[in-house]
Amino acid sequence: MSDHDYRPKSKVGQWFNDRLPLLTLANHLTDYPTPKNLNYWWTFGGILTFCLITQIVTGLTLAMHYIAHADMAFESVEHIMRDVNYGWLIRYIHANGASMFFLAVYIHIFRSLFYGSYKSPREIIWILGIIIYLLMMAAAFMGYVLPWGQMSFWGATVITNLFSAIPLVGEGIVTWLWGGYSVDNPTLTRFFTLHYLIPFLILGLVVLHIWALHVPGNNNPVGIDIKKPSKDTVPFHPYIVIKDGFALLMFMIVFAFFVFYAPNILGHADNYIEANPMVTPAHIVPEWYLLPFYAILRSVPDKLLGVVAMLSAILILAVLPWLDTSKIRSAVFRPLYKQFYWILVADVLILGYVGAMPAEGLYLLIARVATAYYFLHFLVILPILGFKEKTLPVPLSITEPVLGGSPNLAAARNKESKIE
């Protein structure tokens, strides 16, 4: 943010930049001072940008051939798979791209949780991220409906029916959402419209997310505030660009493996059966990335409370910066939090697992315990931990591993001057 005095070298550049300072922006982006100790967990921001653009480009191409009509949607997907040039490739990239997108976003979120990136002064970045994540779930859910297979239809029926849990107006809302008295053609066309719209909303929010990031700058594995630019930072280009590029390529190898050699492994076989309102599938399961929330929904016996629990599980993240009372950001210096962090990771994986299983017997019991623990972590453990935990000494800077630092730069400077 320091280089607003940037002036392009060429006359034309100056003329243009005086009228629209795009070159100043480009200069800011390339020079952007980035902590030099960022590890590979920090490369997922770039990977997610790649995922979003991939989904938009492949999605636009698919939309040129797809027909949003209850009688023709399934057939048009088969037309894409068989007769459109490289249609199979575009569709498999798009379908697996959704899974890759969520894989990356979960890593991105859990990185933030580990290193305390959501804490002051980065709360707005975090909240924007949660909104993006919510929109991603909406987009993915509606995208899954579009092929109009059995799981599309019944998934849409189950999820839209959740709104009927709202007292008094619930039934009316569901009818309004459907555009009729069951999931049918009007539902499909509006889902298609929204599925087309949401990625562009996400794109706009991503711009805000990055903008908000560029105000305080990146957090880092040590979790301390650093002077920018300084010995602790490197310019974004070429250092971070090449590193993000390397990580992206590694990610693309995994992506390519799914697209070319296991394109249907993350999907459900029932979605290759055309939607049939008269036949209910044996098990209705959402895509893997929604399973933890599905498990929370089903673990509550009451429908309305189940919906409330599921929504709270996501929305609780938005207030996380205020639930976590610890002043120390990085789990590296929080021995207790580090353990609770890994318990939370295991808890969410367990929720995902039981979400795929029938909600009965032992599975239901596990789901209930795991759901309770999920809320316990955020509502009880985190607030108390901030006061009780004995944290390790934090270094003053990245380059000089002097202990006795503080996450607050001003405080650190005070300490520095006292030492001198």
Residues lying near another protein in the complex (CB under 8 A) are found at 36-37, 39-41, 75, 78-79, 81-82, 88-89, 92, 103, 107, 234, 238-239, 242-243, 245-247, 249-250, 252-254, 256-257, 259-261, 263-266, 268-270, 272-273, 282, 288, 349, 352-353, 356-357, 399
Q: Give 17 or 61: the residue with its C-beta nearer to another protein.
A: 61
- CB nearer another protein, residue 130 or residue 295: 295
Give the C-alpha separation, 199 to 402, whole Å. 45
Ranges of H-type helices in 116-274: 123-145, 150-161, 170-178, 185-214, 241-261
Helix axes 185-214, 123-145, angle to 10 degrees: 160
Q: How far is the CB of 348 from another protein (least distance, A)?
A: 11
Contact 183, 153 (CB under 8 A): yes
Residue 34, beta-bridge partner list = 234
Q: Which helix (H) or strand (E) holds 115?
A: helix 87-115
User: In the bound complex, what is the minimum distance in angstroms from residue 103's beta carbon to another protein?
Assistant: 7
Taking the least distance from each CB to another protein, the nearer of 28 and 79 is 79
User: Which residue, 158 or 319, is less far from another protein as judged by CB?
Assistant: 158
- Supply 200's token pair: 């562009």
> CA 38 to CA 219: how far, in whole Å?
8
235 has which bridge partners? 33
Nearest distance in Å: CB 140, another protein = 16
Q: How far is the CB of 146 from another protein (least distance, A)?
A: 16
Could you tell me the two tokens for 369?
A: 């315990």
Q: Shortest gap between Cβ of 357 and another protein (angstroms)?
A: 7
Q: Between 181 and 261, whose beta carbon lies closer to another protein?
A: 261
Whether residue 96 contacts residue 254, with contact meaning beta carbons closer than 8 Å, is answered with: no
CB-wise, 353 or 373, nearer to another protein?
A: 353
Determine contact, residues 166/173, Cβ cutoff 8 Å. yes
Q: What single DSSP character describes residue 411? A: H
User: Least distance to another protein from the beta carbon of 409, Å?
Assistant: 21
Q: What angle do CA 239, 21, 198 make, to 5 degrees?
A: 75
Beta bridge partners of 77: none
Nearest approach, Cβ of residue 36 and another protein (Å): 4
Q: Residue 71: CB partners within 8 Å, gap ≥ 6?
A: 185
Distance CA 24, CA 411 (A): 32
- Our CB check for another protein shows the closer of 291 and 307 to be 291
Q: Work out how close the CB of 280 gets to another protein at its nearest, in angstroms, rounded to a whole number.
A: 14
Q: Give the Cβ contact number of residue 150 at 10 Å.
A: 22
Of 91 and 329, the one with the shorter C-beta distance to another protein is: 91
The residue among 234 and 317 lying less far from another protein, judged by its C-beta, is: 234
Please give the biggest Cα pair distance in the chain.
Answer: 79
CB of 47 to another protein, least distance (A): 11
Q: How far apart are CA 147 and CA 278, in angstroms?
A: 18
Residues constituting the chain: 420
In the complex, least distance from residue 124 CB atom to another protein, rounded to whole angstroms: 27
> For the chain, how far is it from start to end, CA to CA, in angstroms?
30
Q: Which is nearer to another protein, 17 or 233 (CB)?
A: 233
The pair phi, psi for residue 315, each rounded to 5°, is -70, -25
